[in-house]
Amino acid sequence: MNALLLLIVGFALAITDARPAHAFAACNNNYGLAPRTGATLPPRARLVAFTDIESWGSHAYRATLDGKPVTLKVTKKKIAPYYLTELEVESDKGGTLDIYAGTDTKDKPMATYTVKLGAALPKEIVATTRRFTQNIRHSTVQELFDALAIDFGDAPAILAHVKIRRDDKAPWSELDLPVHANTHLEKSMSTALIGALGCKSNYTVGLLENGVDLVVTAMLPDGKLVPVKLPARVTLPKAVKQP
């Protein structure tokens, strides 16, 4: 009887222990690779892959240039709540660049770029803002994106540095944000998100709705920072109530 009781208790504990892992695994949409696929890049371009799941931050990446393997210089960084992987293409040649996640040669590329000698990159980015909302329901957890989206349009941004404050009486806070580009959330644009980010957040949505002061710069694939043109004060549009 004691052995049976121990077996039942052990099984119950196993189920209990599995719940957090299941809930955590459901929050798996806050990831991506920048710049946006199809962009024209200079040789030795930098790219950034990101995720907010620690185990995914250890993923390996590989690249080909005109179908031939090319070396990537890899740098791992933690910028809460993100785990970043900076990829630098170690080649001075032009051609078609494909980026892959993992080592399986049968996988399709995450993104494809054109590497061009003398590729022109913007010296300033004119951005726009909007409210980005996506409610992803799982069996055990709600994964809610409700954020101020800073859209960089066609600019091949890879990271955004944001100075933000409630008003001129409050101190500045500084955020480093990956650019959402090659994800199912934002495939066609280069977008930085501030607010609720799935199961995590980097700023309070209520404060964004009341308005904030913003100063933004963006990093491009050549590693240079450029100013981002936005209104000095931005207000998150009110959420549209669903019927």
Predicted pLDDT of residue 241: 65
Tell me the pTM.
0.84
* 30 within 8 A of 57, measured Cβ to Cβ: no
Identity of the residue numbered 211 = G
For residue 100, what are its two tokens?
């892959």
Predicted pLDDT of residue 188: 64
Predicted pLDDT of residue 140: 76
In Å, what is the CA distance from 172 to each residue of 40, 166, 231?
A: 34, 8, 16
Residues of the chain with pLDDT under 70: 1-25, 105, 186-188, 241-243
Backbone φ and ψ of 183, nearest 5°: -140, 170
Predicted pLDDT of residue 23: 38
Among candidates 72, 71, 65, 61, which has minimal Cα distance to 107? 61
**What is the spatial distance between Cα 229 and Cα 122, in angstroms, rounded to a whole number?**
12
Predicted confidence (pLDDT) per residue in 168-212, tens digit = 999 999 999 999 988 777 666 799 999 999 989 999 999 999 999
Predicted pLDDT of residue 242: 52
How far from chain centre, in Å, is Cα 128? 18
**What is the spatial distance between Cα 45 and Cα 115, in angstroms, rounded to a whole number?**
8
Indicate the SS3 state at residue 86: strand
- Which residues make beta-bridge pairs with 160? 177, 218
Predicted pLDDT of residue 24: 46
